[in-house]
Structure 1
């Protein structure tokens, strides 16, 4: 199979966009910056190339910044510089729409979740699911017109404590019941921080099943830490869709851009779901 050209990306060429296959990617981009102290480096421009390489219909992003005054000053002196626009808009490939909502306010800026879409978006919604004042978390909800129907995309970044994540699943359940019609397709994707692999059951109770390619092994979808991944923190949970294939791009270039690796999947409408 022909590979995409981002050096060691291991990304296969996307299938033709005939309306039957939905390619999706989820990626925690670590605010576009890596390293500490004098070795801190700006990766947002490399991440822009990654978005192009995905050739995805929907890209679910976490730890995205609209602004950060201190980092903007620091990297303004570098060759490429800090982007003038927000990171979601900067990363969106030509022809894509970008939706962004902030989750957390910090001393010098903020960060949140974003969705980049090749297909037309509806109204952008945001729901606060913060469990305590030390972790500000939110859901980004965007209905997307695809294949004659609607796919509801929900971008999540759950908390670091298991009890918090369970409560966030409960809040997700109430959000879906209130905002997502029962017969429409749904993808909930992002960084679930589920180190102990304990959320599949609670998510299944909502009618959301973790995407897994036919014949896949557990190690095929490990994304964290990017240098030597041992945890599958980044996931897709589906309703009304089935997973055809899934891969994690690997290699030194991907490992340097974020502490997470991206996860890419090709989906199709489940049997009996109108598209």
Structure 2
């Protein structure tokens, strides 16, 4: 049974330079693709200033995006400020059995979390992880190790795994740390021999976003990079199709 998977940093529902509110168009784009599981980063839970500034502002963006499309979702409300908060989201057509949020912040300036959800798909329990990592490599090294240890603590080598999100991995070091997790591969690199270029949208040069998989056959992997997708955020989404082994 093929599964459609997508990861996307939605930039809080704004285009690359914060001049256009894109959340409704973003939902239409997701509706057209209608992946089975979606990993999102920078999803707003609340922004009191934007409530006053924008007539059609939508808080709890994850509920708006999930409505009528995905029956289950999980949200990590980890980036909390005086008037706003945002976090990672997993949207699923299949039942989410359990969710945990792990704080992986390494400094006072970047509030980061690892969102873990177990998803029941027929007779299998899929382990899913949504991440948004730090900007500095020295901080990401700590986060790589934490994620690796947490993933291994949850897995008995029988569960298929998806680890997806914005790794901010401009120097392409993440995979070196995850290679200790047996048979875990970046889907795009496995399929094409290189990581997908996802940032910035206008001239995507950096390979920041990933979908790591274990226990799947990779059928397809691509970066959506037409004009429509480029207009929705400062990142481009990565899309893959997989089948359980």
Matched, 1:175 2:154: no
Counterpart-to-counterpart distance in 2, 1:74 and 1:230:
33
Q: Which has the larger radius of gyration?
A: 1
Counterpart-to-counterpart distance in 2, 1:205 and 1:214:
17
Counterpart-to-counterpart distance in 2, 1:93 and 1:213:
32
Counterpart-to-counterpart distance in 1, 2:40 and 2:191:
27
> Any residues of structure 2 matched to 1:148-227 within 5 Å, and which?
148-207=123-182, 208-212=184-188, 216-218=192-194, 221-227=196-202
Contact 1:144 1:152 in 2 (8 A): yes
In the TM superposition, residue 40 of structure 1 has moved relative to its aligned partner by: 2.5
Matched, 1:135 2:100: no
> Any residues of structure 2 matched to 1:52-201 within 5 Å, and which?
52-76=31-55, 81-83=56-58, 85-96=59-70, 97-201=72-176
Q: Which residue of 1 aligns with 2:25?
A: 46
Q: TM-score, normalised by structure 1?
A: 0.83
Structure 1: 5+ residue stretches without partners: 1-19, 271-275
Counterpart-to-counterpart distance in 1, 2:112 and 2:60:
19
Counterpart-to-counterpart distance in 2, 1:138 and 1:213:
25
Distance 1:35 1:216, change over 3 A: closer
Matched, 1:31 2:31: no
In the TM superposition, residue 103 of structure 1 has moved relative to its aligned partner by: 1.7
In the TM superposition, residue 177 of structure 1 has moved relative to its aligned partner by: 2.8
Contact 2:102 2:114 in 1 (8 A): yes
- For the residue of structure 1 that corresponds to 2:134, the secondary structure is coil
Q: Number of matched residues?
A: 243
**Deviation readout 1:227-255 (Å, 9 max, x if unpaired):** 11111211111121231111111222211
After superposition, the CA RMSD in angstroms is 1.7
In the TM superposition, residue 180 of structure 1 has moved relative to its aligned partner by: 3.3
